[in-house]
Amino acid sequence: MLEEVLVSGCEPHDPDNAKVDFKFPTGSKVMIDAALRLLSLFNQLDHSMHRVRLHFEEGLDGAMGYLNRMGFFDHLSPRVEVLPGRPDFSGAEIFGGMNAGLVEIARINREVRDNALPSRLTEALISACGDRSDASELEGAAWTIFAELIDNIFSHSQTPLDGYAALQVYSGGDNLKVAVSDSGLGIMETLRPALKQEAPALLRLSDLDLLVEIFRQGISRHGADRGCGLKGSAAKAMKYKAELDVRLPNARVLLKPGTQEYRPDTAFCYEQLPLIWGTHICFTFRLDNGT
């Protein structure tokens, strides 16, 4: 698991660590949500003037080959050192669009908006989940989920760094993952200051409980009627039995769908994790109906 690897090493964002080495040993496997979190982390470290070096023991025959196929190196800062060497071709450019079971890493940039991205993610999801009895209903909900998640980055990330989105079908595990990652202030950092006026009773809640309330009630730093994209996304995903994984700057919350909604007793929280700026969200949909 990515978090276990990060915990076992030094704090990447520690200003005393001028250089950060990250090794991908032989046999390493990288899930798409971990790939986006790593991409954001490496670019954050580079932005904060750390020297970053990535070691891929198997070269293109291992994790590097998968990441190249997904377009990872197309978006990685050119100042990050890659060993044994950066790929001399982009797998995403060569093979992009040839596999209906994935959407390669797409940049979410506030100045150059890709309005077709929600549709590409939705088409890939429906292509994989077409055998579900609720596929026709899922299609409309999925587009809204993706559009809201991406719009949330445009509205709230407040960072010069790009955000990212990608999708991968894991047929062996009978599921599909859609991941969205940004390097902004994070949900809690933008929400908590507004709670003093909007909902002071919620100030006492832990990040875990507050996060669940965001998805249940649509709490927003802009007031009750604005900024509820995350709540809307979670509500729609819950209807289709999706699992929700949220990585906050220093914590990770895994929300399992209950009978009617996401609840604290179906949430698992991992705290005191190494810092990764922003909010990183992954929805996992079952290829069947999830029953």
Report the pLDDT averaged over residues 128-155. 86
Q: What is the pLDDT of residue 289?
A: 66
**Strand-strand pairing, 102-108 and 81-83:** unpaired
For residue 225, what pLDDT band results from cuts at 50, 70 and 90? very low
Report the pLDDT averaged over residues 48-54. 96
Question: Which amino acid, residue 252?
Answer: R
- For the stretch 258-270, pLDDT in tens is 665 566 566 777 8
Which is nearest to 287 in space by CA: 181, 167, 148, 165? 167
- For the stretch 179-215, pLDDT in tens is 999 998 777 777 777 777 777 888 888 777 777 777 7
Q: What is the pLDDT of residue 170?
A: 93
Q: What is the pLDDT of residue 57?
A: 97
Q: Which H or E element spans position 128?
A: helix 117-129
> 86-118 in b/e burial notation, b at 16+ Cβ within 10 A?
ebeebbbeeebeeeeebbbbbebeeeeeeeebb
Residues sharing a CB contact under 8 Å with residue 264, sequence separation 6 or more, in sequence order:
208, 209, 212
Backbone angles phi, psi at 154, to 5 degrees: -60, -35
Residues sharing a CB contact under 8 Å with residue 119, sequence separation 6 or more, in sequence order:
143
Predicted TM-score (pTM) of the model is 0.90
Residues sharing a CB contact under 8 Å with residue 90, sequence separation 6 or more, in sequence order:
68, 71, 73, 74
- Please answer whether residues 1 and 268 qualify as being in contact, where contact means their C-beta atoms are separated by less than 8 angstroms: no
- Please answer whether residues 122 and 182 qualify as being in contact, where contact means their C-beta atoms are separated by less than 8 angstroms: no
Q: What is the pLDDT of residue 226?
A: 41
Q: Which residue has the higher pLDDT, 251 or 110?
A: 251
Burial class (CB in 10 A: 0-12, 13-18, 19+), 202: middle
